Amino acid sequence: MTDTTRIPPTRITGLQGALIRRFSTKLLGEVPESLGVMWHHKPALMASLSLGRKSQSWDACDPQLKSLAHMATAATVGCSFCLDLGYFQARNEKLDLDKAREVPRWRESTLFTPLERDVLAYAEAMTATPPTVTDELSARLLEALGAPGLVEVTAIIAMENMMARSNVAMGIRSQGFAEACGLRPLAEPSGVVPSTA
């Protein structure tokens, strides 16, 4: 692990630490540096892990849409760790990797459906400071996803905002999970946004 974080990672110890190291290695192939940083405050880490674990059982919204919302939030905040992890998780969950790869340049890409574009726009609008969500966008998503689905994707975006902003503030960066499993690099925006007319 490289010492890139603003808070130096500490050694993950004890029985609880052994379980976390084993689970992380099984899931990711290694223990993320972020866990060593968060180990300084175990209650905050455990609360975050618990919330993430519980949210995985939610099923009111399509997993592909939640993955896209997660990655769009990470891209908007600029969390390379979250983008890398989201791309890696999309592979593990057998989601559409071409779409996951294109999230950083979704406005330019032709791969996304109108509903996916609305979810990506919603993630960006929720992540803006202050948020810029419109009644029109919310109404389209409510119609398409239903109330439970819209609440779920909103919660996913809110949780990703917490994680991405925390990671960026602490200097936690990508560890190359997607690259290590042979995924093509994430697409880069060209800076030219196609006309929607």
Burial 111-122 (b: 16+ CB within 10 A, else e): ebeebbebbbbb
Question: Domain ranges in the chain?
Answer: 11-57, 60-189
pLDDT of residue 162: 97
CA–CA separation, 144 and 139 (whole Å): 9
96, burial (CB in 10 Å: exposed 0-12, middle 13-18, buried 19+): middle
**What are the residues whose beta carbons fall under 8 Å from the beta carbon of 154, sequence distance 6 or more?**
122, 126
pLDDT of residue 9: 97
**What pTM value is reported for the model?**
0.92
91 contacts 180 by C-beta, under 8 angstroms: no
User: pLDDT means per 10 residues in the chain (197 residues)?
Assistant: 80 96 93 96 96 96 98 97 95 95 97 98 98 98 98 98 97 93 89 48
Could you tell me the fold of the domain covering 60-189?
A: AhpD-like (1.20.1290)
**What are the residues whose beta carbons fall under 8 Å from the beta carbon of 64, sequence distance 6 or more?**
95, 96, 99, 116
CA–CA separation, 20 and 68 (whole Å): 27
pLDDT of residue 195: 43
